[in-house]
Structure 1
């Protein structure tokens, strides 16, 4: 199986899926902005490029149209069209409408002129045989092909350079985030695309009588890699926040699992803290928020039973084992809670009740929940917690 048969069909499917997803998103979101038209069109043109470049489709196109290697013309027109629509997209991303509209129109008019010239030059190449993977190499000796290739490469390279010129500087202006990552990924894809055009320039030199070293093996790899990075770059601004949401949801589910032992023990001892369900209770963010509230409410009920003596003993043991910082605080808190639950069951209040600390405004909600998860892990698994509650006499 050749590189063309392996890479091109996969990239074609990926590009068509991306085009379909963008089209569905545009239909759901009401009136379609020019930038959305451009990104959908760019994916579709890229999908068509790799579809007709697949050897089996290339041969089928020749048979259906009766024109040898017509897939080469279609692919090259789509490549130039792809770089043009990408320029239009970036112009609408980075400029106000009054600036983007005339500049986009100029690029579309230029593409139309290039398409006409390429078609005329392709017809002038004359009769050929089908070459589904080596069209350029097979006919590099024909002077007619040099003009066709030169026009194609100039148009495509100019588009790639324009994409790099727009993407890379603008990425510095938008600040950290998925848009910056997307712009830079797109720029890198365009840079790799220039490697493809450089390899094709060597073919042009061959056509005019020079004999430079050939980079034919690099052509499909550079084309595929560059296209893949451009697809990723164009989808990152829309897909990135969803990835963040998915990662955030997975993290909340993990925190829910970690809090469960402590939450279950506290709610069993103080069932009055359980909140009633509402229609959103199943959402991980809502469940986590409710679980944290129930833990803190149960702790308030247990405050008369929370023993500073148990906390001191837990601190000494934890320090002896080299713990410090948040892990040390988690062991101390877990030991106090475990002893308080036993004291509540025996209805024995602490002789040295806890002295509440003033709230720390510097602690944000995320860090607070993370610390509570450490407490829950220590409560469920740390041998230091059980040892501290056994070694002090201030509990039942």
Structure 2
């Protein structure tokens, strides 16, 4: 069982670390302060990871040995679980948004309810007689023990209230939104229902069975832990998906465009004077793409004195005669002119006396779309060979 909960804790911790990584601003610095939604999301996911870490039998044994108190890991885990329940509600409040004062008031209410609940869990454990260490079946073993019985019921009720509230809010909110947000809410609902049925109902059933004199401990020791892990992962995915997926898609597109600009960069990159950024293996694809875009524009500006209008016109006429559209013909002609200019620059020839004054399509449109079209045209063109690295006077 320790392996299952450790794996869940690791996945949750990784999700929090990825989410908390603050993006760089256009000036290359990280944003000064993360927003409350990011903070509450990371806190909730991190608490979930810590709960799983503390609930593993190996961790419980280590905590008990370290403190010298049998079953000290129980109030620690149950207190953290109660804090995790509170953090889920706070996350939902921040995610739903609204006037700042209203959000702050609801957050304080959650803390006012769950704070004393955590204290009660600790106090009840201190008052109870729990001298026999139980690492996997504490809930059922002490189901009839005064103090421990109330502590177990209290932490389960606190967690149940939070999960039921999450389901209600997600169902109501899901009717108002669409897209990724709705998909995230659906994942949270499914994870919450798994928690209710797979974790809480099995715990309640096992404890109630002990009260009735029966033994259904396997529900608490074998069914509940993996179901809780699966439920937490699904809920975390629901919270993280709407926030990370758009950024992931953006990075994927940046990586794709960076690769598609390769033919153009290989052709003109040797004349670029743009300062290279510090190479970092963790540099985001969007940052790499931005630098390549700037460097290519700088290279095209450097090659402008070598642009031959006659080459462009001949290539344009040939492309139109070949049945290409006006736009495709223009891009192909500009690609031929750039290839010829790069060859002259690589051969250290003198700039043209009357270079072309035609504006490139790639410089007229925003974004990388124009440069990508130019790069693809160069990749398809057989005109010119890839130049080797060299230098040229701007």
Give the TM-score category using the shorter length.
Answer: 0.5 to 0.7
Cα distance in 2 for partners of 1:327, 1:168 equals 50
Q: Which has the larger Rg?
A: 1
- 1:221 maps to what in 2? 226
Matching of residues 147-158 of structure 1 within 5 Å:
147-158=150-161
Whether 2:94 is the aligned partner of 1:97: answer no
Q: Structure 2 stretches of 5 or more lacking a match?
A: 23-29, 280-286, 348-357, 385-394
1: CA distance, partners of 2:39 / 2:342: 62
Structure 1 residues 172 and 30: alpha-carbon distance in aligned structure 2, compared to 1, 3 A threshold: farther
Indicate the larger mover: 323-332 or 112-121: 323-332
The answer to whether the 8 A contact 2:316-2:329 is kept is no
Shift of 1:219: 1.9
Of 202, 210, 218, which residue of structure 2 is paired with 1:207? 210
- Please list the CA deviations of residues 156-202 of structure 1 after superposition, one character each: whole Å capped at 9, or x if unmatched: 0210122233345446757656x666655545443332232122122
Q: CA deviation at 1:222?
A: 1.9
Residue matched to 1:257: 262
| Larger fraction in helix | 1
Structure 2 counterpart of 1:60, from 53, 59, 62: 62
1:79 is displaced (CA, Å) by 1.0
What SS does the corresponding residue of 2:261 show, helix, strand or coil?
A: helix
Give 2:169's aligned residue.
Answer: 166
Which residue of the partner structure matches residue 109 of structure 1? 112
2:360 & 2:252 partners in 1: Cα distance? Answer: 33
Q: Which residue of 1 aligns with 2:379?
A: 377
Q: Are positions 1:247 and 2:252 aligned together? A: yes
Q: Is the 8 A contact 1:255 1:288 kept in 2?
A: no
1:367 positional shift: 3.5
Gaps of 5+ in 1: 268-273, 346-355, 387-396
CA spacing shift, 1:49–1:280, aligned 2, 3 Å: closer
Report the alpha carbon displacement of residue 91 of structure 1 after superposing the two structures with TM: 1.6
Between Structure 1 and Structure 2, how many residues are aligned?
357
* Residue 279 of structure 2 is aligned to residue 277 of structure 1: no
Structure 2 residue 130 is matched with structure 1 residue 127: yes
Q: Per-residue deviation at 1:64?
A: 3.6
Specify whether residues 372 and 180 from structure 1 end up closer, same or farther in structure 2 by C-alpha distance, changes over 3 A only: farther
TM-score (norm 2): 0.66
Distance verdict in 2 for CA 1:336–1:311, change over 3 Å? farther
Distance in 1 (CA, whole Å) between partners of 2:8 and 2:69 is: 25
